[in-house]
């Protein structure tokens, strides 16, 4: 695996949205479509309370229900978004990182993305008393830190830009209402799975 190939693939991810990449990156495409469809269902709820109720029905993180045995919510939280800006930011970030699907292969991309969502939820469950949370951010942090590990391991690419991106995203964790535990847990899980992928390569 050469760093030049990684950087080319990653930078290529930011070009025109509706093109052949959607078929070459089926995991990313399926996640985009599912997140959008679930969002539309959630938005049918009336008012904030109604939308939260819809989000719970669609599988968002709900600490009390998880502790009662609904463990699938550790993963399905990634497909739930209540606010349009949150959905758009996460879907754009997923698309920007989706070149990694071609680099890693569909299986490892899915393992890192969805494994990081689950890992982020587990850390949130362990250290936070938050009742509810939504979003794909844990998985995105997993992909971002996976890319960072590959970049530093192979020692080339725009490392300054990458470090700046990581710092900005980590700073966002201190904003009110952010489930930083899910972000940190996702990042750590992404690093772990990437190490396993590199070991098995």
Catalytic residue list: 137, 183
C-alpha span between 29 and 2 (Å, rounded): 26
2 in the Ramachandran plot: left (φ > 0), alpha (ψ -120 to 50) or beta? beta
Name 15's bridge partners.
Answer: none
Residues in the chain: 201
| Pair of tokens at residue 103 | 């680099």
- Token look-up 């964790």 returns 173
CA 93, distance to chain mean position in Å, is: 8
End-to-end CA distance of the chain: 9
């Amino acid at each position: 695996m050469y760093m030049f190939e990684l950087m080319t693939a990653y930078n290529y991810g930011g070009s025109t949205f509706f093109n052949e990449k959607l078929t070459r990156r089926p995991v990313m495409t399926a996640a985009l479509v599912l997140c959008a469809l679930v969002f539309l269902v959630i938005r049918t709820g009336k008012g904030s309370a109604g939308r939260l109720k819809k989000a719970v029905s669609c599988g968002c993180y709900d600490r009390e229900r998880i502790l009662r045995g609904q463990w699938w919510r550790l993963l399905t939280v990634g497909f739930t978004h209540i606010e349009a800006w949150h959905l758009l930011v996460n879907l754009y970030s997923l698309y920007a990182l989706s070149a990694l699907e071609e680099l890693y292969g569909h299986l490892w991309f899915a393992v890192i993305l969805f494994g990081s969502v689950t890992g982020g939820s587990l850390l949130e469950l362990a250290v936070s008393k938050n009742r509810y949370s939504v979003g794909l951010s844990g998985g995105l942090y997993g992909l971002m830190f996976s890319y960072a590990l590959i970049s530093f391991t192979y020692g080339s690419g725009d490392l300054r830009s990458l470090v700046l991106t990581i710092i900005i995203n980590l700073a966002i964790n201190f904003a009110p209402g952010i489930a930083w535990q899910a972000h940190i847990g996702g990042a750590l899980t992404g690093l772990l799975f990437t190490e396993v992928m590199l070991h098995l390569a």
